[in-house]
Amino acid sequence: MTGVIFTLKRKRFRIRLPKLRMPDFERVKSFLQRRGKLMFFLFAMIAGLIFGSLTVNSLSKKTLDYLDLLFALNFPERLKSGLAGAFFAEFSSDFIFIFAAVFFSFSLFGALFLPLLAFFKGFGIGISAAYLISGYGLKGALFYFLIILPGVFLFGMILLYELSAGLSIYKKIFYNIARGRTYPLKGALSAFLKKSVKFLLLTLAVSAGDSLLWFLFAGLFKF
């Protein structure tokens, strides 16, 4: 009597992890050349945001009143000011940062003050967010994300590009002076000022959109 014996082989399932590869040096170098200054100012702004959100509870009412000109922190008062008041408060605050960025780009100590400007803007963002959320809870969070955050995000991007352009023109001016080189600055200055005007016009548009959000939704909140 004959029989057939079947043997079953167990299949072994192996999980293959993706191979880790070192980043391409040329790609990293190209990215840093194109976006390095922008990332530098972004990190400075994030550091300021974290510091501002952590220190808001230690600031006195008087200190917050002083910071109101730069960061428009007096939300109850802004609610009473109407559409024109909201636009003026937002644009005047943002204009100061754009003007300071242009001014420091031509200053000898601009390399120090430009990143501090990004840090200080982030500091104000952190203060305003933490102030609303810690002071008014869910209502403050909704108010911030619905009305404040869109304008803050858009102007933050505008300021980062302005600071990046400012650092570029700063390096072209003072680096060549330090090396005793002559550099055709006329074209570079013209391009920088055109960019600054464009960023200022974008800031104007962002402020108009921000004030429109105030007009449409701010009446839903009472502080």
3-state SS string for the chain: CCCCCCCCCCCCCCCCCCCCCCCCHHHHHHHHHHHHHHHHHHHHHHHHHHHHHHHHHHCCHHHHHHHHHHHCCCHHHHHHHHHHHHHHHHHHHHHHHHHHHHHHHCCCCHHHHHHHHHHHHHHHHHHHHHHHHHHHHHHHHHHHHHHHHHHHHHHHHHHHHHHHHHHHHHHHHHHHHHCCCCCCHHHHHHHHHHHHHHHHHHHHHHHHHHHHHHHHHHHHCCC
Instruction: Specify the amino acid at residue 64.
Output: L
Residue 17 lies in a domain: no
**Residue range of the domain that includes 116:** 38-220
Using the predicted structure, report yes or no on whether residue 150 has a pLDDT greater than 80.
yes
In the predicted structure, residue 188 carries a pLDDT above the cut 90: no
123 within a domain of the structure (yes/no): yes
**Is the residue at 5 inside a domain?**
no
27 within a domain of the structure (yes/no): no
Report the predicted TM-score, pTM, of the whole model to 2 decimal places. Answer: 0.79
For the chain, what percent of residues have pLDDT higher than 90? 35
User: What's the pLDDT at 187?
Assistant: 83
pLDDT score at 3: 53
Q: What is the pLDDT of residue 1?
A: 47
**Is 57 inside a domain boundary?**
yes
pLDDT band, residue 18 (cuts 50/70/90): low
Where does the pLDDT of residue 182 fall: very low under 50, low under 70, confident under 90, or very high at 90 and above?
Answer: low
Is residue 6 over pLDDT 50?
Answer: no
Residue 4 domain flag: no
Average pLDDT value for residue range 10-21: 56
Total length of the chain: 223
Is residue 61 domain-resident?
yes
Average pLDDT, rounded, for the chain: 80
Instruction: Determine which helix (DSSP H) or strand (DSSP E) holds 150, and give its type and residue range.
Output: helix 149-170
Confidence of residue 160 (pLDDT cuts 50, 70, 90): very high
Q: Choose between 33 and 36: higher pLDDT.
A: 36
Q: Within a domain: residue 168?
A: yes
| pLDDT class of 196 with cuts at 50, 70, 90 | very high
- How many domains does the chain fold into? 1
**What pLDDT is attached to residue 64?**
66
